[in-house]
Amino acid sequence: NAGVTQTPKFQVLKTGQSMTLQCAQDMNHNSMYWYRQDPGMGLRLIYYSASEGTTDKGEVPNGYNVSRLNKREFSLRLESAAPSQTSVYFCASSERRVSARKPTGELFFGEGSRLTVL
């Protein structure tokens, strides 16, 4: 059972180049998320998708775009990479909240993608 799979695991870019991080989950989860993790900053939410066909901005969306291609896949695109986007990126998924009484469930994380922008 693969869980959440991210590709690539490592990438080096030059300033101004573009790239897409791919994420797929096989747990039939409705919600998917992209986080970035920087030293001393914890995990910060970039974008999330509550369900297929919807996406919303998180805490740090500038410089990124996302696509929820289908229920399984959620990609993150950097159109013009900047050194400030050097980070480790994590994709995650969770079951969607069914009712107001259901607590926020745990997130299942991918292994991370380390991106360096020179």
Nearer to another protein, 72 or 108 (CB): 108
> Is 33 a residue that touches another protein (CB under 8 A)?
yes
> Is 54 a residue that touches another protein (CB under 8 A)?
yes
CB burial string 25-48: b at 16+ within 10 A, e below: beeebbbbbbbbeeeeeebebbbb
3-state secondary structure of 85: helix
> Is 58 a residue that touches another protein (CB under 8 A)?
yes
25: Cβ–Cβ under 8 A, 6 or more apart, which residues?
A: 3, 4, 5, 32, 72, 91, 93, 108
Residue 94's nearest CA partner among 31, 27, 6 is 31
- How many residues bind another protein (CB under 8 A)? The answer is 32
Segment near another protein (CB under 8 A), from 15-23, 38-46, 61-69, 71-79?
38-46
- Selected from 59, 65, 83, 118, the binder of another protein by CB under 8 A is 59
Where along the sequence are the contacts to another protein (CB under 8 A)? 31, 33, 35, 40-45, 48-51, 54, 56, 58-59, 90, 94, 96-97, 100, 103-112
